[in-house]
Amino acid sequence: MNNNPKKSKMKEFKLTQQELEDFRKNGYAGPFTLYTPEEIEQIWKRERLALLDRSNAVYPDDESISANTNIANYDRHLDNQFLAEHVCRREIVDRVRSMLGDNLLCWRSEFFPKYPGDEGTDWHQADTFANAGGEPQILWPEDEEFGGTITVWTAFTNTDKSTACLQFIPGTHEEMFYDETKQMEYDPSKNENVEKEGMRRGFFGYDYRQLQKDPNWKPDEEKAVSMEMKAGQFIIFWSTLMHASHPHEGKTDNMRLGYVARYVPSSVKVYPGLSEINEYGGAISLERFGCVEVSGENQYEYNRVLKETTTGVPFKNLIKYEEASI
């Protein structure tokens, strides 16, 4: 019996064959449990205060703050230790490896809060993420048939139909119903709290319907699945999967908070040719931005990769960490 922990193989969390088949069919997998509700409640009490300190954040406040979403709070995993560890957790990375292979980058993270009374989020898909800013933010190699990113959405609070949980339309990830080369009009005064098919929906100051390839097309909401989750659970889905969220009905004073980490193979170009992002009424410079190598090797020179946070906390590469521990 080997009692040396460095010589013991670590537990893996790769998808089972059935889970992988279901993911390929439906476009999502989970939910899976990462933290208990009690754990994430205590963690978030601590970290929400820590995140108020932006002195080490890679994006300054100034031009990046808008009325609808604060893009200055993109990528807080690049300065916050808990979030840096979260995006590298093997419970997440192992499963994403099942889908995309061993060589993985985390290229963005975001917070998605919904406060009591907030509208739901429009049905949407994202392939290149040019939808709001007009310029592609990720590009897969031309010889690859895929596009989009793997999104890992973690519930930091409980989320159900009354508190703005996610909705998916299974199987819609293999066809894009939107043209991201079109331009949406950023106009919060006109695009907020618009009733669409009997539900208040918007897209952070835009109307996502402006990107439809067929202006008369409508999502088949009868096939929609509502993803109710406990605090501490996460769901994995293709960004090209048709997804939305319910409104927050205000039956509780508690906000709904989701934290998203996005993953691509290292072969994907991230922010190609861009020095800044302009979207949602704000702008951020990419001068201090970098991807995080969460697994395997970055074999390409076109993506900048950071080895540690702005406060010196190393990012854990799953495969390299495992090799060093065996």
pLDDT at 9 over 70: no
- Residue with the larger pLDDT of the pair 43 and 203: 43
Question: What percent of the chain has a predicted confidence (pLDDT) above 70?
Answer: 92
Give the pLDDT confidence score for residue 282 in this predicted structure. Answer: 80
Give the pLDDT confidence score for residue 65 in this predicted structure. Answer: 54
Give the pLDDT confidence score for residue 29 in this predicted structure. Answer: 97
> What single-letter DSSP state applies at residue 310?
T
- Least reliable range by pLDDT among 32-46, 137-151, 188-202, 290-304: 188-202
Give the pLDDT confidence score for residue 279 in this predicted structure. Answer: 84
Give the pLDDT confidence score for residue 84 in this predicted structure. Answer: 97
Give the pLDDT confidence score for residue 67 in this predicted structure. Answer: 47
Q: Of 313, 272, 263, which Cα lies nearest the Cα of 293?
A: 263
Is 60 in contact with 72 (CB distance < 8 Å)? yes
Token duo for residue 167: 């909705």
Is position 302 within any domain? yes
Is position 67 within any domain? yes
Is position 287 within any domain? yes
Is position 16 within any domain? no
**φ, ψ for residue 277 (rounded to 5)?**
-110, 130
Residue 141, domain extent: 26-321
Is position 264 within any domain? yes
- Residue with the larger pLDDT of the pair 144 and 113: 113
Confidence class of residue 323 from pLDDT cuts 50, 70 and 90? low
- Residue with the larger pLDDT of the pair 270 and 280: 270
Is position 17 within any domain? no
Q: How far apart are CA 24 and CA 21, in angstroms?
A: 5
- Least reliable range by pLDDT among 6-15, 171-180, 225-234, 238-247: 6-15
Beta strands in the chain (DSSP E): 28-33, 104-114, 120-124, 138-139, 150-155, 166-168, 194-196, 199-202, 225-227, 233-238, 243-245, 256-265, 269-270, 276-279, 282-285, 291-295, 305-306
Confidence class of residue 1 from pLDDT cuts 50, 70 and 90? very low
pLDDT at 320 over 80: no
**φ, ψ for residue 261 (rounded to 5)?**
-120, 140
Give the pLDDT confidence score for residue 170 in this predicted structure. Answer: 98
Is position 21 within any domain? no
The CATH number that applies at residue 260 is: 2.60.120.620
| pLDDT one-digit tens code per residue, 207-254 | 999 999 999 999 999 999 999 999 999 999 999 999 999 999 999 999
- Least reliable range by pLDDT among 134-143, 263-272, 301-310: 134-143
Specify the number of domains making up the chain: 1
**φ, ψ for residue 63 (rounded to 5)?**
-80, -5
Give the pLDDT confidence score for residue 271 in this predicted structure. Answer: 96
Q: Please provide the average confidence, as pLDDT, over all residues in the chain.
A: 90
CA 191 from centroid of its chain's CA atoms: 23
Is position 70 within any domain? yes
Give the pLDDT confidence score for residue 197 in this predicted structure. Answer: 81
